[in-house]
Amino acid sequence: MYNLLKGKKGIIFGALDENSIAWKVAERAHEEGAEFVLTNAPIAMRMGGIKDLAAKTGSEIIPADATSMDDLNNLVEKSMEILGGKIDFVLHSIGMSVNVRKGKHYTDSNYDFTTKGWDVSAVSFHKVMNVLYNKQAMNEWGSIVALTYMAAQRVFPDYNDMADNKAYLESIARSFGYFFGRDHKVRVNTISQSPTPTTAGQGVKGFDGFISYAEKMSPLGNATALECADYTISLFSDLTKKVTLQNLFHDGGFSNMGVSDSVMERFIEE
């Protein structure tokens, strides 16, 4: 451990269970000396083991539906009280598609579901930053990170409307990141992570095929949730102060591959 986040205060959204990427980020942030508040949707509190994570990391939990401005205002105010000052880092690790959950095909979307999923997965990031910005809740040289997936740029048919949500999310990072950088010297980035076996990940149809294909295509193999947490910590640390408005691929090299030998082997006829 390197004490990379010593004295830093944060808010971590999205730790549902021990597989969650946010869970690993919380564990690593704790190891690196940070103090933080954990938050998740009220319904997720009942399902997951977030209380165990809070006990382990000495954190408090404040429930918040990330689509509710009232909940977010309360979250940010209470977090500053608990942590005794402004915030240095925020992780947005939230995704959900109602069309995926209900098995609606992309070509036959239910638009109430589309709107709900877009609000939860993308607009919530705007809402979180709106509250942080207008309450002047971030310290200078603070860092805000959201998690995304490469279906924002390329076609992965079963990713459904989450592809569109991720494209929107990445755009918000740039658009809001400009104002946050200009006015408060805060950086905003997205990390585009490999397929990872979590509750959200495994909700994608054909996930097993998807994850093993990515593994075979990537020269370094898929990035794990823990490796994603390590990368996130680096973006929260003072070692990356001038990195902003970026979509950063954390995928073992997958995004720049055309084809790999091990994938080709499957198509070469003897």
Q: Is 44 near ligand NAI (CB under 6 A)?
A: yes
- How many whole angstroms separate alpha carbon 248 and alpha carbon 193? 9
Strands (E) in 93-137, as ranges, are none
Q: Is 94 near ligand NAI (CB under 6 A)?
A: yes
**What are the φ and ψ backbone dihedral angles of 250, each rounded to 5 degrees?**
-125, 80
Q: Is 66 near ligand NAI (CB under 6 A)?
A: yes
Q: Is 38 near ligand NAI (CB under 6 A)?
A: no
Pinpoint the alpha helices (H) of 48-123.
50-57, 69-83, 98-101, 111-118
The CA-based dihedral angle spanning residues 20, 25, 28, 33, taken in that order and rounded to the nearest 10 degrees:
-140
Stretch that binds ligand NAI, among 78-86, 109-117, 143-151, 152-160 (CB under 6 A): 143-151
- How many whole angstroms separate alpha carbon 16 and alpha carbon 40? 7
Q: Nearest-CA neighbor of 23 among 65, 51, 46?
A: 51
Q: Is 95 near ligand NAI (CB under 6 A)?
A: yes
Dihedral sign from CA coordinates of 138, 141, 146, 147: negative
How does DSSP classify residue 37? Answer: E
The least CB distance from residue 185 to ligand NAI, in Å, is 26
Q: Does the annotation list 21 as a binding residue?
A: yes
Q: Is 147 near ligand NAI (CB under 6 A)?
A: yes
Q: Is 14 near ligand NAI (CB under 6 A)?
A: yes
Stretch that binds ligand NAI, among 3-11, 52-60, 93-101, 109-117 (CB under 6 A): 93-101
Q: Nearest-CA neighbor of 83 among 137, 153, 125?
A: 137
The least CB distance from residue 6 to ligand NAI, in Å, is 26
Applying CB under 6 A, among 200, 217, 223, 248 the residue interacting with ligand NAI is 200
Q: Is 186 near ligand NAI (CB under 6 A)?
A: no
The CA-based dihedral angle spanning residues 200, 137, 71, 189, taken in that order and rounded to the nearest 10 degrees:
-20
Which listed residue (106, 133, 159, 231) is catalytic? Answer: 159
Stretch that binds ligand NAI, among 83-91, 108-116, 127-135, 191-199 (CB under 6 A): 191-199
Sheet with strand 9-13: strands edge to edge: 60-61, 35-39, 9-13, 87-92, 138-148, 187-193, 247-250
The answer to whether 194 and 223 have CB atoms below 8 angstroms apart is yes
Q: Is 198 near ligand NAI (CB under 6 A)?
A: yes
Q: Is 117 near ligand NAI (CB under 6 A)?
A: no
The residue (of 184 and 218) whose beta carbon lies closer to ligand NAI is 218
Residue positions in the annotated binding site for NAD(+)? 14, 20-21, 94, 166
Binding site for ligand NAI (CB under 6 A): 13-14, 16, 20-22, 40-41, 44, 65-67, 93-96, 120, 147-149, 193, 195-196, 198-201
